[in-house]
Structure 1
Amino acid sequence: MIAAAGGDVGQTLADAVIHEGMMATTVTFGARTRALTGRHRFDLMILDAVVRPEDALHLCRQIRTLSTIPIIAVVAQGREDIILAAFESGADDCVSSPFGTREMIARIRSVLRRASHDRAMHSLPKPFRFNGWRLDTWQRTLRRPDGAVVNVTAAEFDLLVVFCQNPGRILSREELLSSTHAGLAGPIERSIDVHISRLRHKIEDNPHNPSLVKTVRMGGYFFAAVVETDG
């Protein structure tokens, strides 16, 4: 089930999704939408950030505190500031409006594939551990040293998996993009930087002077932690 939140764009998207044989419904901005997503009723949320971008971004942030549901934000063409704000608010992808129906359906299917790939995680090693943190690739959870679960987006989780698989190795933005779905929509390089910034605020003691995810000038990023696997 896919939910489209917002005005005319939301209804148009819902109609297109239903035409493709998927289930969809429209919802309004507000507490009911947060409650529904908190119960994991939907597989994906599409937010209309064209007419009321601040309301859409506020809802995105609220949903992200309750759920890891994939979120696609629809943004007015040329609004790079809203695209970056959407990524910062926890969106997994952004699409500029006006958009083609075929493009949107392809984006939806791509995000859904990425969100469901945890069912194939048996090919990954057992949970990673670094600096007391535990990254479970099967359950797709990140736990602090005190055992508390930290809410991360799908893109942030995938970035952390790539870092744990390649500790100490410099990874370019292009490599990170090819290994995750953090770059499904532009501006591509800056979207990676936004996801890295959000991840640092969740795992670093001092995100402004990071000790785990390091920046390499003109190179990319590398993970400075000692990584181990369970078992």
Structure 2
Amino acid sequence: MENPRLDVKSVDVNLRDSCSNHVKTVLICSKLDDCELLKSTLDRYGFIVEHTTDISYVVSVAYSLTVDIMIVDGPSLYSDTASVIGRLLLVNDRPGIIVRSSSNDDVDRIVALDMGADDCVDVSCSAREISARAAAITRRTSVRPEVKRKLGSLEFAGWELQADRRQLLTPTKNIIHLTSAEYSILRCLLSNPGFVRSRSDLRYFPNKSNDDDGRPRMMDVLVSRLRKKMMSYGDENVIETVRGLGYRLITR
């Protein structure tokens, strides 16, 4: 029995709907000539796309909340691909990683997957297929439902943490300016909402500032300061102290 032929227009509509439901932003890091075609195809399916040839830019963007998927050229094109993937794996709520390999040998693709990439494709892979793979990855790795991702920000329980401005928008639309340490604490708590994060987790989360001088109870002081700022605009305490363990963000 012959398999029925798929209607290309129907596939495109389904893919576009899938992308709009799950995927927001993509960063392409590539020196290859087909980037404009890939970028335009991803854009057509509802992605917000940025392109760079600077692989060092990839890690800094990963901490900014603005990217859901990283599409990076493989080790045969960028000698730093391995170290970049390793650093991305340390990012809480990290983006999905797709590596494009220009090697005819499957070793390049196997190495990328062993390093921690979510997917690896040959450079001959069509832009449409890469779009479908990106949508599939984000369905598996999407942010917990009580935290909604927007471009450059995270929303939770009526609050909005804005990454680019390092500030917090209250449920009543007032602006709370955050220190680097306060911002880092919220990002760490939001990486696993509802779960307890220890003082060590908060202390060593990326982007921590010198506000934390390393004293054992200094993290308690910083959390207390952040909690007071937030409670001045709302009756409920959203940062819960779990005695002997650490802190938990209440997002419902």
Using the size of structure 1 for normalisation, the TM-score is: 0.48
Using the size of structure 2 for normalisation, the TM-score is: 0.45
* Bigger helix share: 1
